[in-house]
Structure 1
Amino acid sequence: MNYKSAFLLRCPAIPKVRIALVGLGNRGTKTLVRYAFIGNAEISCIVDVDSRRLERANKLLRDSGRKEALALCGPDAWKEACQLPDIDLIYICTEWRTHTLMAVHAMRCGKHVAVEVPAATTVEECWSLVHTAEQTQRHCFMTENCCYDYFALETLEMHRRGLFGEITHCEGAYIHDLSTDNECGESNTSWIERGCLTHGGNPYPTHGIGPIGQLLGFHRTDRMLRLVSMTSAGAKEAGLPLGRVNTTLIQTARGVSIMLQLDVTTHRPYNRLQTVCGTKAFVQKYPVPTVNNGEECLMGDAAERYMSRFDGTDAAQLLRKGEAMNVPNAMNYAMDARLIHCLNNGLPLDIDVYDAAEWSCLTELSRLSAQNGCTPIEIPEFCPNMGRK
């Protein structure tokens, strides 16, 4: 089917964005708390399968001086939220296998969508998101907060100024020992840890690929062509293959090579790599911030001071504002504040549905390659807009 493109989609401005927040676990609760600091938006409806979470959420709203939200409880309550006439944005913070189902339904109900990562778990789901956004002309924003990291924003600004020359290679990762540092707040093995260990590929690729995709201008000036992926066997313990690591290599149309890694159970320190190699400069955030601009090599605090000269963007200023207000996780604040600013003013979003599809499709494709002897896999072209301004 041929639908109107959602590339650089502009929708009527929404002076005050009314949000239905679906899912009040760890991520959803943090989102609810964060929106106390964001103007021109309100949490109008909260949805969960657990009434105790709804009660806790409304208490958090009251304690922060906000009015209580309409509370909807039950496995299908999210569908009711999508039908509410006074809701503009459905914000999805549920377990990732439900993301596409909910996002597609919400867009078909005329709502804009913000959805946690990954937005989809299969290529078919990615196409469903794209076709629905094109058909309905509704926004589908994937909440990839790593795109709003200081270092990522500063690297992007360096590239815009031409300081890298020609970028030839990038690296990104999600290396986080969830076996000892369980960010999901569960007492036992978290669903995200278990999902990563049993998947076979990289089911959580967007933290690594998101900043790279924006840097290289996917579906603007470059795109991913193909990948090969390998997953280590790991060591069996309590029925789970602990120490399992996935490495995926990607080639782009302009000849840039990309390496992504996922590792959630070895004892490596937290690392997202954030590595960019250009003909004129090199930067890397982890394990120690490093910059080589062709004249000098700076590390640690000196590298961060050098990078700070490139943090004048709107998103970087929002990071500073969030820090000044002591918002829990200023990176998430900058992401949501930018989302609301764009919706308030009828602007294209920083992360569009094509980004969501391109970054999320690596979930299935990395698994297919890894499980079939590291076979090269072609990556779909979800948005044929190469070179379009």
Structure 2
Amino acid sequence: MTSNRRSFLRNVTLSTGAIAAGLPVLGKDLSAGKDVLSAYAGKAGFNMCGYAAPKIDKVRIGIIGLGNRGSGAVGRLSFIEGAEIVALCDNRPERIPLAQKTITDKGLPKAKEYTGEEGWKALCESGDIDFVYICTPWQLHTPMAVYAMKNGKHAASEVPIAVTVDECWQLVETSEKTKKHCMMLENTCYDFFELLTLNMARNGLFGELIHAEGAYIHDLLDSNFGKTSYSKMWRLRENEFRNGNLYPTHGLGPIAQCLDINRGDKMDHMVSMSSNDFMMGATAKEKAAEDPALYNEFVGKSYRGNMNTSIIRTYKGKTIMLQHDVTSPRPYSRLHLISGTKGVAQKYPEPERIAFGHEWIKPEELKALYDKYTPEIVRHVGDIAKKVGGHGGMDFMMDWRTIDCLRNGLPLDQDVYDGVLWSVIGPLSEQSVAKNSKTVNVPDFSRGNWKTNKPVNLTLEGGGNTTVREVKKG
């Protein structure tokens, strides 16, 4: 065993131990993850892209974390035939009864309950679960997904799936060794305009794609400083010690699919720049004046720059611009712009727009494109998804598609390489910002398989037979 490998394992062990003790694991590998890159980058593992796991007729699901995202997942998954929520876990037991009621109100069996700081481990160790669905704070995503896979479960995690380069490689190695799916739950890949533009790009309507833009611009200042928004204000604490794009995947996922990243092209290198903090430090002082007992600890911190802009260049010479700002008073935006040699599509600012020249097409022409290029999944469950809800229906389409793939033994739309690549922009942006916006290389988590991996399948071939329970109006 090399000294680099021993160093990596030691860091992972220390990190896991800290999490088990209820301690935050902060900024573990800002040095660029060189130990991990040298240990794993040249090793070819089992390729999980396109991997079809054995069929699971009834997918038995354990959900960890019953806050905003977890409680929503319980509601959505309970509508899907062939999906059975058999386990619920939260370290706050008072959250479990409401989730149970969501299940039993549909006439479904009550789920087994897990709680306490170690409850998630017991859930992952259970022999009657096929699929672990993780909706916890970011620092817990990788440890829980790894533990689930090592205990024979497929794993899916809310975004980002990892917060360090080390964690990204750990997820890749574990998924490849166990042959268990490891999916990041990037719901924006299932939004309606994003799916339309992906299908149009596949059909060549934009020509050769040249450039794409994505973002997460969402004013969360009040939520991050809210007393009850996030348990122990965990999301605000992320902003205390990390300066970069902390939440890259919502904007990046859909445009990466349009560019066939990991499936014909790869990210090569990037640079990142952050503004100063003009808002969070000031807000902490204001809050501390009102409630010093709660907010004094947040005064005087070196907070993340309010706006981060990162630029990525791909192997084939395409460019990607990503932005992150969750403090400024601006309208919500994920940008979602793809630009090619024949046309461009842009979602924000609303309304959605497409052009094949110097002027945006008319609304009736956009409708005609929807009629012709809306993918099969939207035609199949789009209307039901809008009724069930979850960010306008994209959450439900993501859940339905995932369960349908597991039931039919189909490859998942998002594999472990997608999840870690979209997430690794977080720690890589930190590294670039810390080095005065110097270039950093982007790891090839596929280790060369991007050259032959096939693009995401936009058909329901081999599946589409998963039904949905009746959705009552209102």
- TM-score, length of structure 2 as denominator length: 0.78
- Pick the structure with more helix per residue: 2
Confirm whether residue 365 of structure 1 aligns to residue 423 of structure 2. Answer: no
Mapped contact 2:241–2:304 kept (Cα < 8 A): no
Q: Shift of the alpha carbon at 1:190?
A: 4.9
Mapped contact 1:290–1:303 kept (Cα < 8 A): no
Distance 1:84 1:381, change over 3 A: same
Mapped contact 1:315–1:335 kept (Cα < 8 A): no
How many residues were matched structurally? 387
- Pick the structure with more strand per residue: 1
Q: Give the AA of the match of 1:103.
A: A
Deviations 1:107-149 (A, max 9, x none): 0111000111001001110000000000000000110000001
Residue aligning to 2:269: 226
Residue aligning to 1:161: 203
Confirm whether residue 340 of structure 1 aligns to residue 382 of structure 2. Answer: no
Residue aligning to 2:317: 255
Identical pairs, percent = 43
Residue aligning to 2:139: 97
Deviations 1:65-99 (A, max 9, x none): 32210001111111111121110001110101011
Which stretches of structure 1, 4 residues or more, deviate above 4 A after TM superposition? 180-185, 187-190, 240-243, 301-304
Gaps of 5+ in 1: none
Mapped contact 2:215–2:251 kept (Cα < 8 A): yes
Q: Shift of the alpha carbon at 1:58?
A: 1.1
Mapped contact 1:291–1:303 kept (Cα < 8 A): no
Residue aligning to 1:140: 182
**d(CA) in 2 for partners of 1:52, 1:39:** 28
Residue aligning to 1:45: 87
Mapped contact 1:177–1:267 kept (Cα < 8 A): yes
**d(CA) in 2 for partners of 1:28, 1:184:** 19
Q: Which moved more, 1:270-279 or 1:185-194?
A: 185-194
Q: Compare CA radii of gyration and give the structure with the larger one.
A: 2
Q: Which moved more, 1:43-52 or 1:179-188?
A: 179-188
Q: Give the AA of the match of 1:215.
A: C
Residue aligning to 2:156: 114
Q: Which moved more, 1:66-75 or 1:305-314?
A: 305-314
**d(CA) in 2 for partners of 1:173, 1:303:** 27
Deviations 1:207-251 (A, max 9, x none): 011011111111211110011001110213113658711110000
2:248 counterpart (183, 187, 205): 205
Q: Give the AA of the match of 2:74.
A: L
**d(CA) in 1 for partners of 2:358, 2:310:** 32
Q: Give the AA of the match of 2:145.
A: A
Matched residue SS, 2:451: coil
Mapped contact 2:219–2:325 kept (Cα < 8 A): yes
Confirm whether residue 270 of structure 1 aligns to residue 319 of structure 2. Answer: no
Q: Give the AA of the match of 2:207.
A: G
What is the root-mean-square deviation in Å for CA atoms of aligned residues?
2.1
Q: Give the AA of the match of 1:257.
A: T
| Structural mapping, 1:146-185, within 5 Å | 146-180=188-222
Q: Shift of the alpha carbon at 1:379?
A: 0.3
